[in-house]
Structures are given as C-alpha cells and as structure tokens.
Amino acid sequence: MKKYFVFVLCLQLLWGDVLDEKIKNLIGEKNYQVNANFIQNIFRDKSLFYTNGGINMKNVVQALKNNGLLILKFSSPLEVQLNFVARTSPVLLTRTINDILSSMGYAFFNVQKADYNNGITSLSFVFVTEHTPDLSIIMSELEKRGIRCIDIKHQNAQNWEYLLEIDNPQIPNARLLLTNQPLALRDVSGQYWL
C-alpha cells in the first residue's frame, strides 16, 4: 500500500510538471509567472485535465480561455501562421482546415507550406488578422469532423502548431452514396466531392 501511495504521488508530481509546462507554453512564461497562484487554483484538480494518460487539450484551453488567461488579440493586424500535422491524406487535411477557417470567417488565407512524408501531412496556413483564431473553436470544429487535437504548441504570438489524430474522419453535410442508386446533382455551381 505504501509503494502504491508513493507511485501515485510521483505520478501526480510528474503530471503537474507536464501540465504546468503546457500552460506556460500556451500563455507565455511572463503571463504564467504573473498569474501563478490563480493558475494553481484553476488547475488544482489535475485529473480534469488528463485523458488516457495524456493532457486533454480541449479542457486546458477552455479553462485558460474562461479565466481570461489566453490572450489572442494583437494591437494591430499581424501575419498569423497555423500549422497542422496529422497522419492522413493531404487532401483530407487541406479540405478540413479550409472548411474550418472559412466557417470561422477567414476568407483570405494561403497554404504557405505543405509536406507529405511517410504518411504524415504537415500544412501551414498563413493570413493577416487582428487576433489568433480561437483555439477552442478550432478544436470543436475538428471534433465535428472526427479529428482530435492531441497537442498545441505555441511557438510565438503569431505561430501555433496543432498535432492532430484522425479518429473517424467525416465531412459535414455529407451523404452516403450507395452503388446502383441514382444520384441527381441539382445545383451544379457548388462543390461536389464524390
């Protein structure tokens, strides 16, 4: 019993360090130091922020956002770069991220870099904006499409990297096509992925 208690205590200390480092990465070292006591209070029940032995990014980001610790607004428009990495096809990831950014109101963005190596797709989207796109909205939209955000890395105020895991990829408003069943395309001016 005593060994079990020591193991659990060590595990909690290890989890605390990993979670603290992730929070520091997301909000910045300076912001973390200024709000250290507040952050410790918010994240006192660390079990709420772990799932299957890893950090639950959605819960961490939501807690930071709800408590005003995730600062995403700039004083003037800046170029923002969002990087997405996943083990999937480049076509699926490109379409998914395009749809998400468009649904969030971003119309003018470019794919700055695209790489596909050993089954892993890496895409970098660049656009000018007055604030970083809301991380929790991006994660929610990804979940709707069967994609889970495993990790987010905050390189600097304008550069974010999302590590994604494809669970059950879906295209919203998609319709199942069956063989030998006729399909009538009424509006030929829209996009069709068959």
Q: What is the pLDDT of residues 136-163, one digit of tens each?
A: 999 999 999 999 999 999 988 899 999 9
Mean of pLDDT values over 59-85: 94
Global pTM exceeds 0.85: no
Of 136, 135, 141, 67, nearest to 103 by C-alpha is 141
pLDDT tens-digit profile of 32-59? 999 999 999 999 999 899 988 889 999 9
For the cut 90, the answer to whether the pLDDT of residue 183 exceeds it is no
- Quote the pLDDT of residue 137: 94
- Across the range 15-43, mean pLDDT stands at 90
Which residues on adjacent β-strands are paired with residue 147?
A: 166
Q: Using CA atoms in the order 17, 58, 168, 96, what is the torsion angle rounded to 10 degrees?
A: -120
Quickly tell me which residue has 């956002």 as its tokens.
65
CATH class of 73-166: alpha beta
Give the domain ranges of the chain: 2-66, 73-166
CA gap 189, 179 in Å, rounded: 24
